[in-house]
Chains A and B, each alone.
Chain A
Amino acid sequence: MHLQPLLDVLRRERGTQVFFVLLLIVAVGVPLLHAALPASSPLHISTYTMTLIGKYLTYALLAISVDLVWGYCGILSLGHAAFFALGGYAMGMYLMRQIGPRGVYGHPILPDFMVFLNWKELPWFWYGFDMFWFAALMVVLVPGLLAFVFGWFAFRSRVTGVYLSIITQALTFALMLAFFRNDMGFGGNNGLTDFKEILGFDINASGTRIGLFIASAVFLALGYLACRYITSSRAGRVVQAVRDAESRTRFLGYRVESYKLWVWVFSAVLAGIAGALYVPQVGIINPSEFQPINSIEVVIWVAVGGRGTLYGAVAGAVLVNYAKTYFTAALPEYWLYALGTLFVLVTLFLPRGVVGLVDQARDALAKRRASTPALPTADSTLSSAQRSP
């Protein structure tokens, strides 16, 4: 492993440093404020708020997985929520099996919805999900495998641009229709819910929630590092070359399809992990997670934050979701107006997102202040991100 480029970036890139500092503060501070302070204290963070922030962290992980393929490889996926939901379903199946005989119908093995459907035995694809290691493996394998098969077909036959976007959307749409069916064996319309415990801990207990929260933060940090490692590596530069001039890269002798495929699969796996962390915190997974609009929302998080930066994706995910939480509570009827306007305004006026805005402001300030020309702070990834399709 050549870690040197990664370390260079970490040392140099202000956004990444800010991201890690903030993440550390959140990952330590939130559980501390939740557990150490009494509920009466004004600084106390309730289980609800902590779970909410934990949800944002999983969204952030999903956002960087989208940013990796869109911002760095130029593949606009309108179906990434499908990988997220598949990871979530794998985790949900584990949690379902953990309920054991404590379901409403009290069947020792079958989950409630199967008893309700009058099924006599567990379908084969539910085997093994009573073991955590198997479920964890599936969280990685199922989205990864689907992405591999899909990407292998798509990239090899050079489906690109909006065509690829549309078939990713068709993919998640088809999966949504499939998971809505009762006889698929994934709980149909209602999905999987009523979870009791995870790894032996009560899923609603405050301590478990803290654990899940910290796990989300840790996986976000690891995912970020992995993505940053990829983007700062030699292969990562080829990936960016594919984004900027696919044919030229191919003519230079690089196997464009392979680079795209591996970035794509890795991104899908990240999305699956995000989904697996999301489900135990939210307590439910159902087919509406496959809705095409969910995937498009993820794209808008990345666009709002600023794509091709990773930390911008995180910022966008948190900002948009905070706005969503606020709006749906305070002005529910205006949320879609706000989101729709956000789509339009960001694409028209903020092609580099909030991060780009911050950079511009900082550059303007620096220009005004500095009499001597400062060293260029923006790294190559940032400047090339402006040229992305």
Chain B
Amino acid sequence: MPASIQLICRLSLLLLLAIPIAAQAQSDDLFVERLELLTANNFKQKEQAVAGLLNLRHPNTKAVLQALLDGRLYYERASKRVVIRAAEDAFSVADAVTLTPIPDASEDAFSRITTNNQLRKNLRGAIAAFELDSPDARVRLTAVREMLRSLDEDTVALLRERVEQERDDEVRAAMTSGIALFDLDNEDAGVRLAAVERLRGSLNSDVYNRLRALIERDDDGNPVEPDPEVRAVAIDVVNGIETRRAFYGSLETLFFGLSLGSVLVLAAIGLAITFGVMGVINMAHGELIMLGAYTTYVMQLLLPDHIGAAVLLAIPAAFIVSGATGVLIERGIVRFLYGRPLETLLATFGVSLVLQQLVRDIFTANNRPVETPAWMAGSLQINEVFSITLNRAYVVIFTLLVFGLLLALLSKTTLGLKVRAVAQNRNMARAMGVRTEWVDAMTFGLGAGIAGVAGVALSQLTNVGPNLGQQYIIDSFMVVVFGGVGNLWGTLIGGMSLGVVNKLLEPYAGAVLAKIFVLVALILFIQRRPRGLFPQKGRAAEA
């Protein structure tokens, strides 16, 4: 008996093995059959063929559909055998069923299987469905978003099936809102109501537009949504969504405002030192910013393979270039004019003209391209309506860093102590042994160096050209005057609030008009509070 048992076992094993093989063979046959349908001259038939292929779940289906979408699916006219063309330029094809290459295929013997819009839309949805199997949540999310563009019974059924097993919150939310969007067209008011409920709080703009459309009235004046209860909930949900969108919208405006504000602060903070601490009007301040921006450009020329490192190295380099120029201006011109602010203003304006022309002669009058390193490009997507551009975020952080360093320098170091002493009472400081001349030069150099650092940051945001400085000089003065002279905190708050106000006005008035409004408001503000938001108090204010 052992032999017979052995035989039975062998037979059954054979059978067991044979069943899948047979099934595979059968499925291959069906696959070929449906592939052949694709060669039909009729798009309706092709659509049916695609649907049939999808039901079959053959392992090659995705490759075939992708090839069809890309226009790489061909068939041999004689045998109706469907082949996939490789992506290369030369014509080489592989059999669609076995995926084995066909040698010596001549392009003349094959015809391309054409598609139309509807078919491509279906294909994209179908391929997206395949990608739902991907282990990468981001691929799945893109796939779901792709499917949402063409929802039908099948895709929704697939989504319903997948949403249960989906682990990733974001993907699941996208799926749920897709299903709910589809359910909005359901006959049953209860289903619609549930769908509307499920869409509560969604930030997706498709969802928003769809719901908005739901609570409108059609051309005859009848509500689009017949059921009053659903309509009431929909209105409620739309209001909720609008509030959230408005919230994120204002967050975005705030971010833009802060980013503009930090640019202003960066540009103005050097001025706050020279103007505020020393009482010197430096009209060449804008040009010192420009020098910093050009230093970035030169650094990138010197290190063409390390754009990011060049930008980082440009920060100290720009500080030195602009700072040295500042010390030169102070030693050469400004020190002869202390106590005569209007003359200083004119003389430094002359310097600014010379610097502009110098830059024009060296680098030509055209804008110079400064590249943004990869880690500063792109943006951080918080949700569907709110994203943060990275370079602006970096500038905001950089501004705060510079501000903190400067504040520490002025309040914690000996140099800072001397600077403050000279600012408060020059004669007394000199009597106590402070070398006021040296302190003046260092203070001016510090303010100028910070202008250079601001130039590095600006080179990442705007065009680098000879007029870069002029664009910021008036704004910088406004910030310093608004914040209150001699007060770094005033500069920070003044700059940030000017930036935010500017961006708040922009949607209503447009960029130019917003700027004019801000300028006029500032002119009026200075009339009300001639010494700024945070005026200096005590004896120093009388000088």
A interface residues (Cβ-Cβ under 8 A, vs B): 76, 150, 153-154, 156-159, 161-163, 165-167, 169-171, 173-174, 177-178, 180-181, 292, 296, 299-300, 303, 333, 336-337, 339-344, 346-348, 351, 389
Contact = CB atoms under 8 A, between A and B. Distances in A.
Interface string B259-298: 0000000000000000000000100000000000000000
Interface stretch (B2-10, B486-494, B521-529): B521-529
30 contacts: A76-B345, A153-B524, A154-B526, A157-B527, A159-B526, A163-B530, A165-B281, A167-B522, A167-B523, A170-B522, A177-B512, A177-B515, A177-B516, A177-B519, A180-B512, A292-B474, A296-B346, A333-B357, A333-B360, A337-B357, A339-B350, A339-B353, A340-B349, A340-B357, A341-B350, A341-B354, A342-B350, A343-B350, A347-B343, A348-B333
A125 B530 CA distance: 33
B530 A157 contact: yes
B447 to A, nearest CB: 16
A339 B522 CA distance: 31
A348 B334 CA distance: 9
A281 B244 CA distance: 60
Contacts of A303: 346
A163 to B, nearest CB: 6
B259 to A, nearest CB: 21
Interface in B336-386: 336-337, 340-347, 349-354, 356-357, 360-361
B347 A348 contact: yes
A336 B354 contact: yes
Given A161-B341, A170-B478, A337-B354, 20 more contacts: A150-B523, A162-B281, A162-B341, A162-B345, A163-B481, A163-B530, A165-B281, A167-B526, A170-B474, A173-B474, A174-B520, A177-B516, A181-B512, A292-B474, A336-B356, A336-B357, A339-B350, A343-B353, A344-B351, A348-B347
A339 B333 CA distance: 16
A292 B353 CA distance: 13
A130 B95 CA distance: 84
Interface string B58-94: 0000000000000000000000000000000000000
A174 B513 CA distance: 9
B333, B346, B360: which has the most chain A beta carbons within 10 Å?
A: B346
Contacts of B444: none
Contacts of A174: 515-516, 519-520, 523
A214 to B, nearest CB: 34
A153, A166, A169, A171: which has the most chain B beta carbons within 10 Å?
A: A166
B356 A76 contact: no
Given A157-B530, A333-B361, A337-B354, A169 B474 contact: yes
A154 B481 CA distance: 14
Nearest to A351: B343
B255 interface: no
A162 to B, nearest CB: 5
A389 B342 contact: yes
A299 B346 contact: yes
